[in-house]
């Protein structure tokens, strides 16, 4: 979709981080924007920013794991804004735990949001997109959808699944000669709140609590949400299949191409070396591999914490969000002024 002015775009998880920045970026391009999130307070902040830009905006408190609420939201946007051209399935959470220690409850929580939320958003919006001259689906995966990392099994499973789902969809749309297309997004480390709301199950392999993980993540994530949004919007305009965000993502993609399976040994050797160091020294140790540094759910241990064999601790739970689908606020002021983003993050896409 080259021309975005006066088209209608919907974004999930728009109260914070990448989702908020994408909503703002799309409004700058002249889109009318429908935003949703489970976090009503953050969503209201996004609405205020969009309104201050003069954007046409409608907002909805929405839990992406609620399929019928997703379907109702799509119908409501089409009725209120006269159609829908773009859906950005962005809402997501993090989880760090070994397979052995991870509870089914945490695993299902993550899959419901990071995978099923994307599926519900895609299927609920597709029929509306098909009614328009042009439509585009943007599904947010991760570098964790390109490579795996220890203690990131659930996150990687969801992000690999989003990639497979979206790549299959793209082929189906092409075969059918559809007016709708889709893009898979693979961000590297983006400076957002994701690590603050992630769940962490401490273990010998992961001797860090949620706060320590969030601290490490904020040091390691290099790209701004605004920079990520610029690359995502370019991906829509250029109809990219795959979009990588940040140098870290590009390096990881290259490593995966050169060492499609052997990269795993590199990561596990690095992790083993880290553990040996941690056990023999009391000082901090360096990151074992760039992969673990940028996958939000699997920041590497950087401090000595547990020397004795560690039992799996009860997960530091983020509160499981309640299902919700109440309207937040809707307004339809003047048309937004299209302006170009100034961020310098580059896209790498094919």
Task: Please choose, from the candidates 185, 191, 254, 183, the residue with its C-alpha nearest in 3D space to the C-alpha of residue 227.
Answer: 191
In the complex, least distance from residue 132 CB atom to ligand NAD, rounded to whole angstroms? 24
**Which token pair is 321?**
């969000």
Between 4 and 93, whose beta carbon lies closer to ligand NAD?
93
* Alpha-carbon gap, residue 86 to 72, rounded angstroms: 16
Of 181-210, which residues contact ligand NAD (CB under 6 A)? 187, 189-190, 192-194, 197
**SS3 per-residue string spanning 181-204:** EEEEEEECCECCCHHHHCEECCCC
Q: How far is CA 116 from the centre of its chain?
A: 13
In the complex, least distance from residue 130 CB atom to ligand NAD, rounded to whole angstroms? 24
Residue with tokens 């609420």: 69
Using rule CB under 6 A, residue 221 touches ligand NAD = yes
Using rule CB under 6 A, residue 59 touches ligand NAD = no
Of 9-38, which residues contact ligand NAD (CB under 6 A)? 12-13, 15-19, 37-38
* Alpha-carbon gap, residue 263 to 255, rounded angstroms: 7
Using rule CB under 6 A, residue 92 touches ligand NAD = yes
Selected binder of ligand NAD within 39, 139, 224, 302 (CB under 6 A): 39
x/- map, 140-169, ligand NAD, by CB under 6 A: x-x---------------------------
In the complex, least distance from residue 66 CB atom to ligand NAD, rounded to whole angstroms? 8
Q: CB of 14 within 8 A of CB of 37?
A: yes
Of 233-292, which residues contact ligand NAD (CB under 6 A)? none
Between 30 and 290, whose beta carbon lies closer to ligand NAD?
290
155: annotated active-site residue: yes
Task: Please choose, from the candidates 224, 220, 222, 198, the residue with its C-alpha nearest in 3D space to the C-alpha of residue 211.
Answer: 198
* Alpha-carbon gap, residue 294 to 78, rounded angstroms: 37
In the complex, least distance from residue 251 CB atom to ligand NAD, rounded to whole angstroms? 14
In the complex, least distance from residue 332 CB atom to ligand NAD, rounded to whole angstroms? 23
Q: How many amino acids of this chain bind ligand NAD (CB under 6 A)?
A: 33
User: Please, which residues have CB within 8 angstroms of residue 181's CB and are 6 or more apart in sequence?
Assistant: 1, 135, 136, 137, 170, 173, 174, 239
- What is the side-by-side strand order in the sheet with 347-349? 327-331, 57-61, 32-37, 8-11, 86-89, 135-140, 180-187, 242-245, 347-349
Name the residues that contact ligand NAD, by CB under 6 A. Answer: 12-13, 15-19, 37-39, 42, 62-65, 90-93, 113-114, 140, 142, 187, 189-190, 192-194, 197, 221, 296, 321
Residues tagged active-site: 155
């Amino acid at each position: 979709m080259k021309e975005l002015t006066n088209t209608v775009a919907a974004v999930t998880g728009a109260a914070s981080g990448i989702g908020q920045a994408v909503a703002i970026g799309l409004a700058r391009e002249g889109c009318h924007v429908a935003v949703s999130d489970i976090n009503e307070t953050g969503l209201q902040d996004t609405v205020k920013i969009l309104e201050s830009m003069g954007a046409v905006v409608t907002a909805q408190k929405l839990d992406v794991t609620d399929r019928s609420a997703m379907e109702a939201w799509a119908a409501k946007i089409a009725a209120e804004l006269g159609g829908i051209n773009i859906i950005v399935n962005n809402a997501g959470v993090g989880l760090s735990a070994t397979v052995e220690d991870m509870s089914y409850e945490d695993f299902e929580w993550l899959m419901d949001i990071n995978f099923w939320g994307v599926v519900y958003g895609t299927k609920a919006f597709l029929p509306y997109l098909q009614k328009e001259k042009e439509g585009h689906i943007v599904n947010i995966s991760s570098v964790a959808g390109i490579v795996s990392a220890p203690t990131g099994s659930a996150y990687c499973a969801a992000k690999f699944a989003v990639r497979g789902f979206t790549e299959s969809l793209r082929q189906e749309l092409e075969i059918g000669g559809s007016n709708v297309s889709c893009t898979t997004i693979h961000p590297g480390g983006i400076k957002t709140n994701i690590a603050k709301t992630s769940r962490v199950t401490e273990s010998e392999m992961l001797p860090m609590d949620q706060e320590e993980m969030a601290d490490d993540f904020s040091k390691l994530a290099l790209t701004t949400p605004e920079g990520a949004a610029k690359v995502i919007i370019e991906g829509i305009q250029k109809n990219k299949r795959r979009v990588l965000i940040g140098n870290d993502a590009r390096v990881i993609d290259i490593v995966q191409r050169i060492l499609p399976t052997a990269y795993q040994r590199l990561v596990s050797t690095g992790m083993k070396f880290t553990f040996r160091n941690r056990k023999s020294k009391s000082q901090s140790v360096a990151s074992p591999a760039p992969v673990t540094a940028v996958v939000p759910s699997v920041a590497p241990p950087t401090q000595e914490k547990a020397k004795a064999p560690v039992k799996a601790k009860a997960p530091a739970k983020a509160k499981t969000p309640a299902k919700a689908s109440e309207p937040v606020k809707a307004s339809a002021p003047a048309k937004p002024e299209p302006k170009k983003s100034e961020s310098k993050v580059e896209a790498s896409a094919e």
